Structure 1
Amino acid sequence: MSETYDLIVVGAGMAGVAAANKCGAAGWRVAVVDALPYGGTCALRGCDPKKILRRGAEIVDAANLMRGKGVDPHGLAINWSDLMAHKRGFTDPVPSKMEKGLKGNGVETLHGAARFTGANTLEVDGQPYESRRFLVAAGAIPRPASFAGADLMIDSTDFLSLEALPKRILFVGGGFVSFEFAHIAARAGAAPVIVDRGARPLNAFDPDLVEMLIERSAGVGVKLQRETEIVSIAKADDVFMVAVKSCGETRTIETDLVVHGAGRVAALADLNLEAAGVDYGYKGIVVAPHLQSSTNSAVFAAGDSADTKGMPLTPVAVIEGKVAASNMLKGAQTAPDYAGIPAAVFTVPELARVGMLEAEAKEAGHDVDVRFTDTGGWYSNYRIGEKSAAAKVLVDKSDGKILGAHLFGPEYGELINFFGLAIKLGLTAKQLKSTTAAYPSVGSDLGSLL
């Protein structure tokens, strides 16, 4: 057995790296282990590369919106292979940069599959290690599917590595992945179909704005089939036959590619957490509010590996990683602050939210002033030719504080941050409205939304 570490971090994504750097810089003996290249889902296989690909979609969409308004989009097209090369220009250097940063803070970097062997021990590809504490930040994997032919689907990682884009693409599930990728694919010339078994996709977002997004999606060729369940997938030559069931009838959709977009679960199954006496479920390791395992005090968890109140977002993972590290260093029991953290679906245009949904606010007993505004005709959208945009701001009538904000429109992924700050700091709508923004900018619309 090697010398005991102060901390071993399982997972070299954003949560794990944040914690490892913090503890390493404090003088602890720290190691990070991951079987995949360092950087995690967000930097290598998710948020960042996705939004690079989205840039191509933005340009095509922007040109089409200005058709007949001084811009001729004829002949404008995405070169998929060149766009992918642009993506790799960002992602390829990430692992080495991550390792260099970790080593600069005295953190040892290990490569291989980690597996717990006891309460304070694990092995990496058979090599034993011992530590006083562990942070599990192993990320998430696509939710297992039980229908026949599920193994024929590709996941989001595979989609972000496609060297060529097929013409017909079927996305399974109505969440972030399906909508974001479908919007990219549609602007790149593909014909995407989203199959969702529920009545309303993107159910974490405001239902009225989701319907606006669905209508806007249809206008660029993204088809949505609701209350439709996948029965099976079969393949003949290069064509996939997807059997689906809706309204009691089964039919077949032919497509060139099937993409898994039906949610993710914590990637814990291979860690042998039972050997460490760590309780966990599909949402992650069961932890106290301060992120310590409820059944093994040596183990903490963060990000997708932790069953917490935080949304499955990269900024949340980073916050949890830093809080877990601080709690370990100080012997404290501080819980993360999740107030005012926005989320966005980066379709074109984007859909964003922060704080409570309208139904949540009312269920919590708030007397809610719902301020809905169709902004499709406002200057900031007229300028670029966009007609589909709206905002819904929820204000508590009792004290004027902002309970939630829901936005759909161009650049609203930036505008939502103002509302997030207001919620975090407990500002009233009147206080936020007093902000003077650069004009004319999308931010200058803020006051008129309140």
Structure 2
Amino acid sequence: MRKFDVVVIGTGVAGSSAVYKFARAGLSVAIVDERSFGGTCALRGCDPKKILIGGAELVDWAERMKDKGIEGKVYINWKKLMAFKGEWTKGFPERIERAFKKAGVETIHGSARFIDKDRIEVNGEVILSDKFLVATGAKPRKLNIPGEEHVITSDEFLELDELPERIVFIGGGYISFEFAHLAARAGSSVTILHRSERPLKNFEPYIVDSLIKATEERGIKVVTNAPVKEVEKRADSFVVKTPQGNFEVNLVVHGAGRIPNVDDLGLEVAGVEYDEKGIKVNEYMQTTNENIYAAGDCAKGGLPLTPVAAVEGSIAANNIIKGNHVKIDYTAIPTVVFTIPPMASVGLKEEEARKKGLKFIIKKGDTSKWYNSIRINQKYSCYKILIGEGNRILGAHLLGQNAEEIVNIFALAIKLGLTAKDLKHAYYTYPSHSYDILYML
């Protein structure tokens, strides 16, 4: 039986952010993972996805500029684009494991399960530790429908050798919309099936409505009130059955949300409380077992985003090393849907602000006729800004080119307490999308 000061379970962003801190603090530390080292973001999520979407963005830009001086057909060679993506993902697990070992971290491959409050079992070996950090991330939720075995996940989508002619994405969240925009520009006929009335429900409806118009104009069907009841396999196709009709396609992709990956950890034995939303933690990222902390998508904390996981992992590490002294702050976390164009959001939506009883004004509008949209022939772009008492920014919601960058300025304003006046009196490069902030306010 080996003994460590700290054991980290999970090698994604949260676990990796913490493990180096433990090593630098001189603690004996091990990190465990049942899958390839590197976690979802680097291998099966944000990074490879954005590489592929980069190709789709180029195709879209060329199509928009057709008859505007740009001639010729630009198209996606899926195999070569996937090979380009592989330049990032292939070898990444080995690189990160080498980095762990160089830092003095013991690396262990296998499934970890608590067998007591202070020990886990991995590959039949019992490992004892003074402290633990659980950072196991999330996994696709069960659909619980007949034929679920015929549905692939986002992990598998990112490894497809070729794209079929017809694809259905189940669920109207960010995963489905991002991959739908990619697949449509790679030549597939795409349908998104969403179970309720409003897809992308965590985003400002005014912005979502414009994105859906852009989505449908690209030929992607968005079918609402269409919960999937069954997926039936035919000879060379699948039939997806919904109250809105049946859809015969060549591929069905799960985009209906993810849940914390905690079911097989034996947390009950360790005295750690959790439910379907994740592991219960306090503001120090500490669980109901004072010697076990949790961070990232497996914890009930902030949004399931890479930057949030990194901060949570870092805070958990600081508190494990020096005792609880650093609290998590979830103020002003920006989030993006990497569609084409991208949609970005930070702070409160209008509905949330009204429920809080806040006084505010709204600045909103279509920016498709503004210079920066006309310059790139971008038909769909808009904004909605909530400005509260004291001229403070309460929320910012954007659709358009570089929205994922512009939203960071609003996030900083909310975080630092800057006012709309502060932003209006700043200097921005011109002409740039950031300069449009002046007109928005």
TM class by shorter-chain length?
Answer: over 0.9
> Displacement, 1:288?
1.3
Q: Distance in 2 between the 1:190 and 1:99 partners?
A: 37
Structure 2: which amino acid aligns with 1:120?
D
Q: Distance in 1 between the 2:24 and 2:89 partners?
A: 26
CA deviation vs aligned residue, 1:16-73 (integer Å, no higher than 9, x gap)? 011111111111111000011111000000001000000111011001111111012x
Q: Which residue in the other structure is 1:68 paired with?
A: 67
> Displacement, 1:181?
0.1
Gapped regions of structure 2 (runs ≥ 5):
none
Q: Which residue in the other structure is 2:357 paired with?
A: 365
* 2:251 counterpart of 1:257: yes
Aligned partner (choices 281, 286, 289) of residue 292 of structure 1: 286
Is the CA contact (8 Å cut-off) linking 1:283 and 1:304 kept in structure 2? no
Q: Which residue in the other structure is 1:268 paired with?
A: 262
> Displacement, 1:123?
1.0
> Displacement, 1:336?
1.1
User: When the two structures are superposed, what TM-score results if normalisation uses the length of structure 2?
Assistant: 0.99
Q: Which residue in the other structure is 1:279 paired with?
A: 273
Q: Distance in 2 between the 1:28 and 1:167 partners?
A: 53
Where 1:253 maps in the other structure, the secondary structure is strand
Q: Distance in 2 between the 1:320 and 1:230 partners?
A: 35
Q: Distance in 2 between the 1:433 and 1:358 partners?
A: 22
Q: Which residue in the other structure is 2:230 paired with?
A: 232
Q: Which residue in the other structure is 1:422 paired with?
A: 413
Aligned partner (choices 339, 343, 348) of residue 335 of structure 2: 343
Q: Distance in 2 between the 1:231 and 1:239 partners?
A: 17
Superposed counterparts of 1:85-234, under 5 Å: 85-234=83-232
Structure 1: which amino acid aligns with 2:429?
A
Runs of 4+ in 1 over 3 A off after TM superposition: none
Q: Distance in 2 between the 1:245 and 1:177 partners?
A: 23
> Displacement, 1:333?
4.1
Q: Which residue in the other structure is 2:17 paired with?
A: 18
Gapped regions of structure 1 (runs ≥ 5):
none
Q: Distance in 1 between the 2:260 and 2:124 partners?
A: 23
Q: Percent identity?
A: 46
Aligned partner (choices 386, 390, 394) of residue 394 of structure 1: 386
Structure 2: which amino acid aligns with 1:195?
L
Where 1:276 maps in the other structure, the secondary structure is coil
Q: Distance in 2 between the 1:272 and 1:378 partners?
A: 56
Q: Distance in 2 between the 1:94 and 1:367 partners?
A: 49
Aligned partner (choices 324, 329, 342) of residue 321 of structure 2: 329
**Backbone CA RMSD of aligned residues:** 0.9
> Displacement, 1:335?
2.0
* 2:303 counterpart of 1:305: no
CA deviation vs aligned residue, 1:320-374 (integer Å, no higher than 9, x gap)? 0000001111102432111121000000000000011111112112111100021
Q: Which residue in the other structure is 2:430 paired with?
A: 439
CA deviation vs aligned residue, 1:66-111 (integer Å, no higher than 9, x gap)? 1111012x43210000000000001113212211222232111111
Q: Distance in 1 between the 2:297 and 2:120 partners?
A: 20
> Displacement, 1:154?
0.2
User: When the two structures are superposed, what TM-score results if normalisation uses the length of structure 1?
Assistant: 0.97
Where 2:316 maps in the other structure, the secondary structure is helix
